Amino acid sequence: MGNFIGFLLLWRILGNPVLAILVILLIVYLLDRRFIGLFPSFTRPFKRMRNISKLRTIISNSPSDVSSRHELARLLIERRKYKEALELLESIHASSEDSAEYWDDLGTCHLNTGNIPQGEQYILQALEMNPRVKYGRPYLRLAGANKTSDREKAISYVQQFQAAHSSSSEAYYLLGSMYKDLGRNEEAKQAFKESVEVYKSLPKYKKRQERKWAVRSLLKSTL
């Protein structure tokens, strides 16, 4: 009722119902970005493209800049430009062998360019070097890569991820999503419920960071 009254007031003030709806949607979006984070950032893709352009210029002027090449590869992975990212990562192989993040990025590119066994080997190498690299998400990538060809292996990777993240609302949300992809709906619902329970137990300063995962889990647990 309150929302309807607000809409009527905006309609009267602005003199246009479509404009009133757009203003309400903008307010909802800004409130979400400030307090929850369910909606994607409209500015992030533009910032990423700007950073990619900047890194290309740096590399053009300094071809031996390893850190810029790795950062560019990471941004290209976010854009799903795996082939180009793979070429960049292979060019810095000799300088990056001690980095777990490097091996995970390299493995991710291989997984998404059709070379799953090699990608799996590299990601496992990253996890051996640092079991908590990238907060355990490599386990979920491995689970996703195996979910159609070897469901038991996929479940094993999901369980390893769960063991490493027992106090994270986000972790349980990702766990539930993976179980859902694997067709294990009861385990998925339980994981979503655990996500909400974990959120309730978090200290106040952590709740802002984890709130969007708890909300997403709540929505999925009721479906």
Structure tokens at 7: 């809409």
* Nearest to 200, CA basis, from 210, 191, 190, 188: 210
pLDDT at 167 over 90: no
pLDDT at 83 over 80: yes
Question: CB count, 10 Å around CB of 48?
Answer: 14
Chain centroid offset of residue 60 CA: 30
pLDDT at 16 over 90: no
pTM to 2 decimals? 0.78
pLDDT at 2 over 60: no
Q: What is the DSSP letter of 174?
A: H
Q: How far is CA 212 from CA 58, 114, 121, 172, 209, in A?
A: 36, 33, 33, 12, 8
pLDDT digits (tens, 9 = 90+) for 31-76: 666 777 777 777 888 999 999 999 999 999 999 999 999 999 999 9
pLDDT at 188 over 80: yes
* Average pLDDT in the chain: 86
Question: CB count, 10 Å around CB of 3?
Answer: 9
Mean pLDDT of 120-135: 94
Q: What is the DSSP letter of 82?
A: H
